[in-house]
Structure 1
Amino acid sequence: MPAELTTGRAARAAGCTVPTVRYYEEIGLLRAVNRTASGHRLYTRATVEQLKLIRRCRDFGMAIKDIIALIAVSTATAECDEALALINDHRANLRDRIAELKSLERALAVMAARCADTCVGGAASCCTIYSDLAMTG
């Protein structure tokens, strides 16, 4: 890999898109990079590694603000405990979200069973799914 990469090459190396790289730079996840005389951005290997870290954090469902905090910890004279606390907070949020999703799935299963038992094959205007959806929440 060359010492400096164009936006397209950096994006491909990190497994993301050019607009994503530009967006991350715009919101401050990536520092502004050097530019050629013609204005093209030039990224380093370190930037590509940071892009990979960001992409992986996004794969884990981390919010941008949490990724910013995690990156800040890595570039400061902070303790590893701070990174661990951020990850544990995210895990707790994921567990809460998983519980919510399981509850939603159970409710949808009840709706589907009720429809299958009472009105499947009939007119959609009489389907129990619509009345069940109107009652939930």
Structure 2
Amino acid sequence: MFIATANNLSVVPWYQSPTGSLSTTAALAICVLIAVPLFSISRRAIGAYLKTYIQPSPFMLPFNIISEMSRTVSLALRLYGNVMSGAVIAGILISVPPLLFPGSHAASGPAYRCHPSLHLRHPGNGLHRFRQSLGPRSRDKRQ
């Protein structure tokens, strides 16, 4: 419920989702790291739970421990990456209309400054700066 609510509230202007922070997603992943063995031990005995780490052979013990740790890191990074990619895609979609309509004043309205993490200072100047970076056009050169 927390993740769903936090991600759905990220569309509210000036609200930055708590799951957009790697520390929050790491804390949630650590909760999963602790909860999964506890529920497994409560469902069956501790001996049966520990036996799963050495199946099919005792040589699998280090790999199963690494698997548990890597799952925790994977959960944290996947949640963080999904939330941050949504913010990046929103930033890209917000910056496209000024490139298509450079003289439009509607394109520089409050909708383009709604999220502080997007860092869109002057979205209407993107096309002008791009044209300047290309240098003078061939027809502008005097021969």
Please confirm whether the aligned pair reaches a TM-score higher than 0.5, indicating the same fold.
no
Greater relative contact order, per chain length (Cα 8 Å cut-off, separation 6+): 2
TM-score normalised by length of structure 2: 0.30
Query: In terms of Rg, which structure is larger?
Result: 2
- Higher helix proportion (structure 1 or 2): 2
